[in-house]
Protein backbone atom coordinates (compact mmCIF):
# COMPACT_ATOMS: atom_id res chain seq x y z
CA UNK A 1 0.00 0.00 0.00
CA UNK A 2 1.57 3.30 -1.00
CA UNK A 3 1.42 6.45 1.13
CA UNK A 4 -1.42 8.03 -0.85
CA UNK A 5 -3.63 4.96 -0.47
CA UNK A 6 -2.77 4.79 3.20
CA UNK A 7 -3.85 8.44 3.65
CA UNK A 8 -7.06 7.89 1.72
CA UNK A 9 -7.92 4.91 3.89
CA UNK A 10 -7.09 6.84 7.04
CA UNK A 11 -9.50 9.64 6.03
CA UNK A 12 -12.11 7.05 5.09
CA UNK A 13 -11.84 5.46 8.52
CA UNK A 14 -11.55 8.64 10.59
CA UNK A 15 -14.24 10.75 8.90
CA UNK A 16 -17.27 8.65 9.92
CA UNK A 17 -15.98 8.60 13.50
CA UNK A 18 -15.69 12.40 13.51
CA UNK A 19 -19.14 12.84 12.01
CA UNK A 20 -20.60 10.46 14.58
CA UNK A 21 -18.97 12.45 17.37
CA UNK A 22 -20.29 15.75 15.97
CA UNK A 23 -23.82 14.49 15.58
CA UNK A 24 -24.06 13.33 19.19
CA UNK A 25 -25.51 16.56 20.58
CA UNK A 26 -26.89 14.87 23.68
CA UNK A 27 -23.48 14.23 25.19
CA UNK A 28 -22.04 17.25 27.04
CA UNK A 29 -18.51 18.15 25.92
CA UNK A 30 -15.75 16.89 28.16
CA UNK A 31 -14.52 19.75 30.34
CA UNK A 32 -10.99 19.78 31.62
CA UNK A 33 -10.17 22.42 34.22
CA UNK A 34 -6.48 21.56 34.07
CA UNK A 35 -4.41 24.75 33.99
CA UNK A 36 -2.17 24.72 30.91
CA UNK A 37 1.14 26.43 30.73
CA UNK A 38 1.41 27.31 27.04
CA UNK A 39 3.37 30.27 25.67
CA UNK A 40 1.23 33.32 24.85
CA UNK A 41 0.36 34.01 21.20
CA UNK A 42 0.81 37.78 20.74
CA UNK A 43 -2.33 39.67 19.74
CA UNK A 44 -3.17 43.36 19.48
CA UNK A 45 -6.25 44.77 21.24
CA UNK A 46 -8.10 45.02 17.95
CA UNK A 47 -7.21 41.43 16.99
CA UNK A 48 -8.48 40.09 20.30
CA UNK A 49 -11.60 42.27 20.20
CA UNK A 50 -12.35 40.81 16.77
CA UNK A 51 -11.94 37.28 18.16
CA UNK A 52 -14.45 38.11 20.92
CA UNK A 53 -16.86 39.36 18.20
CA UNK A 54 -18.35 42.26 20.15
CA UNK A 55 -21.46 44.05 19.00
CA UNK A 56 -23.46 46.82 20.65
CA UNK A 57 -27.19 46.67 21.17
CA UNK A 58 -27.82 49.32 23.82
CA UNK A 59 -30.87 49.58 26.05
CA UNK A 60 -32.72 52.86 25.69
CA UNK A 61 -31.27 55.64 27.90
CA UNK A 62 -34.87 56.21 29.02
CA UNK A 63 -35.27 52.62 30.30
CA UNK A 64 -35.94 52.17 34.02
CA UNK A 65 -32.55 50.56 34.64
CA UNK A 66 -30.51 53.16 32.77
CA UNK A 67 -32.36 56.10 34.32
CA UNK A 68 -31.14 54.84 37.73
CA UNK A 69 -27.51 54.52 36.60
CA UNK A 70 -24.54 56.67 37.67
CA UNK A 71 -21.35 57.49 35.89
CA UNK A 72 -18.57 54.96 36.51
CA UNK A 73 -14.86 54.48 36.11
CA UNK A 74 -14.55 50.66 36.17
CA UNK A 75 -12.16 49.23 38.76
CA UNK A 76 -13.45 45.62 38.84
CA UNK A 77 -14.89 43.09 36.41
CA UNK A 78 -17.66 40.91 37.83
CA UNK A 79 -18.29 37.53 36.18
CA UNK A 80 -21.79 36.05 36.22
CA UNK A 81 -23.51 33.11 34.53
CA UNK A 82 -27.08 33.44 33.28
CA UNK A 83 -28.50 30.16 34.68
CA UNK A 84 -30.71 30.24 31.57
CA UNK A 85 -30.46 27.07 29.45
CA UNK A 86 -32.34 28.54 26.48
CA UNK A 87 -31.47 32.25 26.14
CA UNK A 88 -28.43 33.25 24.06
CA UNK A 89 -26.77 36.69 24.07
CA UNK A 90 -29.28 38.11 21.58
CA UNK A 91 -32.22 36.86 23.68
CA UNK A 92 -30.77 38.62 26.75
CA UNK A 93 -30.29 41.82 24.72
CA UNK A 94 -33.95 41.69 23.67
CA UNK A 95 -35.11 40.98 27.24
CA UNK A 96 -33.14 43.94 28.60
CA UNK A 97 -34.41 46.25 25.85
CA UNK A 98 -38.06 45.39 26.41
CA UNK A 99 -37.70 45.91 30.17
CA UNK A 100 -38.21 42.26 31.09
CA UNK A 101 -35.36 42.38 33.64
CA UNK A 102 -36.89 45.25 35.63
CA UNK A 103 -34.25 47.32 37.38
CA UNK A 104 -31.46 44.84 36.55
CA UNK A 105 -28.89 45.40 33.85
CA UNK A 106 -25.27 44.61 33.06
CA UNK A 107 -22.68 45.47 30.44
CA UNK A 108 -22.15 42.32 28.33
CA UNK A 109 -23.72 38.94 27.65
CA UNK A 110 -21.40 36.36 26.06
CA UNK A 111 -22.35 33.14 24.32
CA UNK A 112 -20.62 30.62 22.08
CA UNK A 113 -20.66 32.97 19.09
CA UNK A 114 -20.47 36.60 20.27
CA UNK A 115 -20.50 39.18 23.04
CA UNK A 116 -23.26 41.78 23.05
CA UNK A 117 -22.79 45.04 24.95
CA UNK A 118 -25.98 46.39 26.52
CA UNK A 119 -24.89 49.66 28.19
CA UNK A 120 -21.88 52.02 27.99
CA UNK A 121 -18.85 51.12 30.10
CA UNK A 122 -18.79 54.52 31.83
CA UNK A 123 -22.21 53.80 33.30
CA UNK A 124 -23.10 51.62 36.31
CA UNK A 125 -25.23 48.52 35.89
CA UNK A 126 -27.27 46.69 38.50
CA UNK A 127 -26.13 43.09 38.57
CA UNK A 128 -24.01 42.44 41.67
CA UNK A 129 -25.12 43.85 45.01
CA UNK A 130 -28.18 46.13 44.80
CA UNK A 131 -26.32 49.36 44.19
CA UNK A 132 -23.32 48.45 46.41
CA UNK A 133 -19.65 48.67 45.40
CA UNK A 134 -20.01 45.72 43.02
CA UNK A 135 -22.48 47.71 40.95
CA UNK A 136 -20.79 51.08 41.45
CA UNK A 137 -17.29 50.02 40.38
CA UNK A 138 -17.54 46.93 38.17
CA UNK A 139 -18.26 45.95 34.61
CA UNK A 140 -20.79 43.08 34.67
CA UNK A 141 -20.29 40.17 32.26
CA UNK A 142 -22.99 37.48 32.02
CA UNK A 143 -21.80 34.18 30.53
CA UNK A 144 -24.51 32.26 28.70
CA UNK A 145 -25.53 28.72 29.58
CA UNK A 146 -27.46 27.73 26.45
CA UNK A 147 -27.66 23.94 26.59
CA UNK A 148 -26.64 23.41 22.95
CA UNK A 149 -23.61 25.74 23.21
CA UNK A 150 -20.13 24.57 24.17
CA UNK A 151 -19.43 26.09 27.61
CA UNK A 152 -15.65 26.05 27.06
CA UNK A 153 -16.02 28.28 24.00
CA UNK A 154 -18.29 30.68 25.93
CA UNK A 155 -15.88 30.78 28.92
CA UNK A 156 -12.84 31.35 26.71
CA UNK A 157 -14.65 34.14 24.83
CA UNK A 158 -15.57 35.68 28.19
CA UNK A 159 -11.94 35.39 29.36
CA UNK A 160 -10.75 37.16 26.19
CA UNK A 161 -13.31 39.94 26.69
CA UNK A 162 -12.18 40.28 30.31
CA UNK A 163 -8.52 40.58 29.22
CA UNK A 164 -9.41 43.30 26.69
CA UNK A 165 -11.32 45.27 29.35
CA UNK A 166 -8.50 44.82 31.90
CA UNK A 167 -6.05 46.38 29.48
CA UNK A 168 -8.48 49.13 28.42
CA UNK A 169 -9.13 50.23 32.03
CA UNK A 170 -5.88 49.11 33.66
CA UNK A 171 -7.74 46.66 35.93
CA UNK A 172 -5.50 44.15 37.78
CA UNK A 173 -6.20 40.40 37.70
CA UNK A 174 -7.08 40.37 41.43
CA UNK A 175 -10.03 42.67 40.59
CA UNK A 176 -11.56 40.10 38.22
CA UNK A 177 -14.09 38.56 40.61
CA UNK A 178 -17.04 36.17 40.61
CA UNK A 179 -20.42 37.58 41.60
CA UNK A 180 -19.88 35.45 44.73
CA UNK A 181 -17.20 37.94 45.84
CA UNK A 182 -19.79 40.68 46.47
CA UNK A 183 -22.68 38.77 48.04
CA UNK A 184 -21.76 35.10 48.46
CA UNK A 185 -24.25 34.17 45.73
CA UNK A 186 -23.60 30.90 43.87
CA UNK A 187 -22.70 32.74 40.65
CA UNK A 188 -21.19 32.00 38.16
CA UNK A 189 -22.50 28.59 39.29
CA UNK A 190 -20.81 26.43 36.59
CA UNK A 191 -17.40 27.83 37.58
CA UNK A 192 -17.82 27.54 41.36
CA UNK A 193 -17.23 24.42 43.43
CA UNK A 194 -19.90 23.71 46.05
CA UNK A 195 -20.95 27.34 45.65
CA UNK A 196 -17.48 28.76 46.26
CA UNK A 197 -14.46 29.64 44.12
CA UNK A 198 -12.31 26.51 43.70
CA UNK A 199 -10.38 24.78 40.95
CA UNK A 200 -12.85 25.73 38.19
CA UNK A 201 -12.69 29.43 39.09
CA UNK A 202 -8.86 29.18 39.25
CA UNK A 203 -8.93 27.71 35.75
CA UNK A 204 -11.05 30.62 34.48
CA UNK A 205 -8.69 33.16 36.08
CA UNK A 206 -5.76 31.34 34.44
CA UNK A 207 -7.50 31.75 31.05
CA UNK A 208 -7.98 35.48 31.68
CA UNK A 209 -4.32 35.76 32.67
CA UNK A 210 -3.26 33.83 29.57
CA UNK A 211 -5.14 36.21 27.24
CA UNK A 212 -3.83 39.20 29.22
CA UNK A 213 -0.30 37.94 28.60
CA UNK A 214 -1.13 37.51 24.89
CA UNK A 215 -1.95 41.24 24.82
CA UNK A 216 1.22 42.14 26.71
CA UNK A 217 3.57 40.05 24.57
CA UNK A 218 5.19 41.71 21.60
CA UNK A 219 5.46 39.66 18.41
CA UNK A 220 9.00 38.49 17.70
CA UNK A 221 10.75 40.84 15.31
CA UNK A 222 11.03 39.50 11.77
CA UNK A 223 14.61 38.55 10.93
ZN1 LIG B 1 -24.51 36.78 39.10
Express each pLDDT in 182-194 by its tens digit: 999 999 999 999 9
CA of 118 to the centre of ligand 1 (A): 16
What is the CATH number that goes with domain 45-216? 3.40.80.10
Task: Please state the domain extents for the chain.
Answer: 45-216
Tens digits of residue pLDDT in 112-151:
999 999 999 999 999 999 999 999 999 999 999 999 999 9
Q: Please tell me the predicted confidence (pLDDT) of residue 31.
A: 77
Q: Decide: helix, strand or coil at residue 77.
A: strand
CA of 23 to the centre of ligand 1 (A): 32
Pairwise CA distance, residues 109 & 169, whole Å: 19
CA of 218 to the centre of ligand 1 (A): 35
Q: Given a cut of 70, is residue 175 above it in pLDDT?
A: yes
Q: Given a cut of 70, is residue 25 above it in pLDDT?
A: no
What confidence category does residue 7 fall into, taking pLDDT thresholds of 50, 70 and 90?
very low
Strands (E), the chain: 54-56, 76-81, 108-110, 115-117, 138-143, 176-178, 192-193, 196-197
Q: Please tell me the predicted confidence (pLDDT) of residue 19.
A: 43
Q: Please tell me the predicted confidence (pLDDT) of residue 12.
A: 43
CA of 109 to the centre of ligand 1 (A): 12
CA of 170 to the centre of ligand 1 (A): 23
Q: Please tell me the predicted confidence (pLDDT) of residue 11.
A: 43
CA of 81 to the centre of ligand 1 (A): 6
Q: Given a cut of 60, is residue 8 above it in pLDDT?
A: no
CA of 128 to the centre of ligand 1 (A): 6
CA of 79 to the centre of ligand 1 (A): 7
% helix, strand, coil for the chain, step of 5: 40, 15, 45
Q: Please tell me the predicted confidence (pLDDT) of residue 42.
A: 95
CA of 195 to the centre of ligand 1 (A): 12
What confidence category does residue 27 fall into, taking pLDDT thresholds of 50, 70 and 90?
low
What confidence category does residue 223 fall into, taking pLDDT thresholds of 50, 70 and 90?
low
With a pLDDT cut of 70, the percent of the chain lying above it is 85
Helix (H) or strand (E) holding 214: helix 199-216
Q: Please tell me the predicted confidence (pLDDT) of residue 17.
A: 44
CA of 18 to the centre of ligand 1 (A): 36
Pairwise CA distance, residues 179 & 177, whole Å: 6
CA of 25 to the centre of ligand 1 (A): 27
Nearest by Cα to 215 from 171, 152, 151 = 171
With contact defined as beta carbons under 8 Å apart, do 78 and 138 qualify? yes
What confidence category does residue 29 fall into, taking pLDDT thresholds of 50, 70 and 90?
low
Q: Given a cut of 90, is residue 6 above it in pLDDT?
A: no
Nearest by Cα to 96 from 124, 122, 57, 70 = 57
Q: Given a cut of 70, is residue 2 above it in pLDDT?
A: no
Angle at 207 between CA 123 and CA 56, to 5 degrees: 35
Q: Please tell me the predicted confidence (pLDDT) of residue 15.
A: 44
Amino acid sequence: MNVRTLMANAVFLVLPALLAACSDASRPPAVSFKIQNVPPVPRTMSQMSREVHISRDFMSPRSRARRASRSMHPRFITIHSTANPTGDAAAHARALKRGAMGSLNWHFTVDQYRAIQHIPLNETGRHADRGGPGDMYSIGIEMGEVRSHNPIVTWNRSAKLTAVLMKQYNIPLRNVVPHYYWTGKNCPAPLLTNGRPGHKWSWFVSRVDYYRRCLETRPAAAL
